[in-house]
Amino acid sequence: MRPVESVAIIGAGNMGSGIAQKSAQEEFMVQMVDREEKWVERGHSIIAEFLDEAIQRRIFREKEVEDIKNRITGVIGTENVNPDTDLIIEAVFEDFDIKKAVFSTLDEVCNEHTILASNTSSLSVNELAKATGRPDRFVGLHFFFHPAKNRLIEIIPAETTSPESLAAVEQYCKTMGKVVIVCKDRPGFVVNRFFVPWLNEACLLLEEGIASAAAIDNVAKKAFRIGMGPFALMNLTGPPIALHSTDYLAEQLDCPRYTGAANLRAMVEAGEMWEIGDDIECGEEAAIIISERLLGQTFAVSAQIVNEEICSIEDVDRGAKVGLRWAKGPFEIANKIGIDEAVRMANSYANSAGFQLPEWFANCTEPLDFSYVDTEINGKVATIKINRPEAMNALNETVVSQLGSALDSINSLDEISTIVLDGAGKAFVAGADVKFFVDKIRADSIQDIYDFTAHGHEVLAKLENSDKTTIALTTGLALGGGLELALSCDYRIGTRRSQFRFPETSIGIYPGLGGTQRTPRICGIEAARFAVLAGNFLDAKSAAALGILTHLVEPANVNSTITEITASGKPNQKYQATPVDPSHPAAAFALAFYCDENMAALSNGNCPDGFDAEDKMVSRQLKALSRTAPIALAMASQLLNESVITGDDLESGLSLELQRLNDIFSTADALEGLSALIEGRRPNYTNS
């Protein structure tokens, strides 16, 4: 598979410029193409406006914005695209003939390896693939607006798309930090299939006089726990888009219920927007009708999506939560209100829409089970992916249990030589589920926290003690428990996007899944103090210097690095107990600042002798340490010291870490720190 390193976007409108911007932000070299110079310039202006806002919000520095802009080259005319471009994404009007003409030109211009993609929300990917001269190197992409902000993307392979092309595009999307849903080519794909009829159903409710637009919006917001109702959303994106999309689905799926409501059609013909107003009140009976029809529609159509094997129940929910920013997905809502009720509502809608509710859902009597850990076997390599990107792959009881089962299964297969751990979306694993800890502390159920963590130790031991070569694919964020999970593997592969941090002492606890024991055994006690006690963010280069990362590679070289590691096997010595590159600034500072002689001063909040408290790096450390919970800091420091005492006996060190767990979670500071994190405020520690 040739990796994607260069991209071109055909169309410099709002969507095309957004895709170009996001690609450039992730350090791809980008061509932004349109028919005339004025449209290309307009695309640059749109990007500049978004990036200026990002500077004001302190998302990017001015130098970073200049670098992003410099990676985008304007090109006038599709025929002038660089022939050697790896991936070209067409983002023009939703018109089959226009898109076909674009691909005809690209087929003539581009080299044989170039993959073509269409950013489409409705057209058939299979038909578009047939319209190109390279149906094996063609794929559908459905970006959600705004592409630089919305993390969801639907990848729709055509029936002719080669596995290599799909893999290359999927890797590009993951490098972009996208949450990827790979789905079948069916009208509406995943999200629009249930969301567009939802909008039309709201229009029908208004047309029937059930309630005002404002009241329907208000009921929908409560039923789905969303920030905007259907009419406000249509005003945001434009009623014409809703009308076009729902008419398209009605025609393609032969479902008259989806035909655009008369009031929606009249609104579009008049060129107007919905007048929502402030009349949000309606009677209880009307509120029940509104919520049950909107919920029933969502349940019924989502059940169809799964029945047609477009995607899984997990991906349907993921699409709603990431793409639409719903608090819960359709099937999670069904579980919450009760499966019997959800099936009743779905049946009612299906009957009114003239279709049969799929048997798999109609016959449901028990809550649905969700899978968050996927396993794929390719030759001797088994890839286990934690697939909960809507929660940054945070570890909870379900994820840890499913991960343990997956590892048991793979460890039992003699034909497998290598296990690769991966995380969906932009994170590897962003720690544990903090709300779980808070809920258990408040319920005086700290034993449940201990049991959960002890089980986590057992699961990590399945990696630590595996006879397979184990690799953590830490190409995004690895925080807290996620970093501890990665450290239990033999190797850790990272890219420029990799970031690592132990935030525990700043939120009132200490790393409890081996962080105080594996870290010093990998990079030495001083570097471990730098990482664990002060909770320093480690970029990819710093992490590689300390030994947290064993392989720092370009995104395009991740797969080849896995192949190389698989061939070489397990490391001769996993725990070196010293930085890989002690001359690196982060390593050199850690070795000097966090040496044994300085710990007494640091524990008392003082600057060690020989260091200037005004020095930028020193002051940053002192400030970070001052913001930790004192009890957590002391316990973490003691556990790090005990890692040296226990030496080669990792099990004894891990046992000590577990033994202190009840003590730390029983403190007032633990509850304060964890609660403050959830509430988005700075904690106020009382050392109690």
The string of pLDDT tens digits covering residues 627-640 is: 999 999 999 999 99
Residue type, 254: D
Distance CA 683, CA 506 (A): 9
Query: Domains in the chain and their CATH numbers?
Result: 6-182 (3.40.50.720), 191-362 (1.10.1040.50), 373-679 (3.90.226.10)
So what's the pLDDT on residue 29? 95
Q: What is the pLDDT, as a whole number, of residue 94?
A: 87
What's the average model confidence in pLDDT over 557-568?
95
User: Which of the following is catalytic: 17, 121, 126, 312?
Assistant: 121
- Given a cut of 80, whether residue 1 has pLDDT beyond it is no
User: What average pLDDT does the segment 129-136 reach?
Assistant: 94
Q: Is 142 annotated as catalytic? A: yes
- The confidence score (pLDDT) of residue 593 equals 98
**179 contact partners, CB below 8 Å, separation of at least 6:** 151, 152, 153, 318, 322, 389, 390, 424, 425, 426
pLDDT of amino acid 99: 94
Looking at residue 425, what is its pLDDT? 85
Give the pLDDT confidence score for residue 688 in this predicted structure: 92
Question: Looking at 17, 142, 312, 559, which residue is catalytic?
Answer: 142
Contact 551, 491 (CB under 8 A): yes
Mean pLDDT in residue range 19-32: 96
Please give the Cα distance from 631 to 686 (Å, whole number): 9
What mean pLDDT value characterizes the chain?
96
User: What average pLDDT does range 232-259 have in this prediction?
Assistant: 95
The pLDDT of residue 150 is: 94
Given the residues 23, 26, 150, 154, the one annotated as active site: 154
Predicted pLDDT at 162: 97
Work out the end-to-end distance of the chain between its first and last CA atoms, rounded to an integer number of angstroms: 56
Collapsing DSSP to helix, strand or coil, 381 comes out as strand
Written as six digits, the tokens of 502 are: 């132990």
What pLDDT does residue 556 have?
A: 81
Asked if residue 122 has pLDDT above 90, the reply is: no
Q: Which long-range contacts (CB under 8 A, 24 or more apart) does 523-526 make?
A: 523/547, 523/548, 523/576, 523/577, 523/578, 523/579, 523/580, 523/587, 524/577, 524/578, 524/579, 524/591, 525/577, 525/594, 525/596, 525/640, 525/641, 525/643, 525/644, 526/590, 526/591, 526/593, 526/594, 526/595
Looking at the chain, the whole-number percentage of residues with pLDDT higher than 90 is: 95
- Based on the residue annotation, tell me whether 154 is a catalytic residue of this protein: yes
Over range 151-159, report the average pLDDT.
Answer: 97
Q: With bands split at pLDDT 50, 70 and 90, how would you rate the model's confidence at 643? A: very high
The pLDDT of residue 127 is 95
pLDDT digits (tens, 9 = 90+) for 342-355: 999 999 999 999 99
Render pLDDT for 82-121 as a digit per residue (tens, 0 to 9).
Answer: 999 999 999 998 889 999 999 999 999 999 999 999 999 8
Q: Which of 165, 192, 245, 498 is catalytic?
A: 192
Question: Sorting pLDDT into bands at 50, 70 and 90, what band is 177?
Answer: confident
551-560 pLDDT, tens digit per residue, is 999 888 899 9
pLDDT at 573: 93
Q: Are strands 538-539 and 551-552 parallel, antiparallel or unpaired?
A: unpaired
**Single-letter residue type at 473:** L
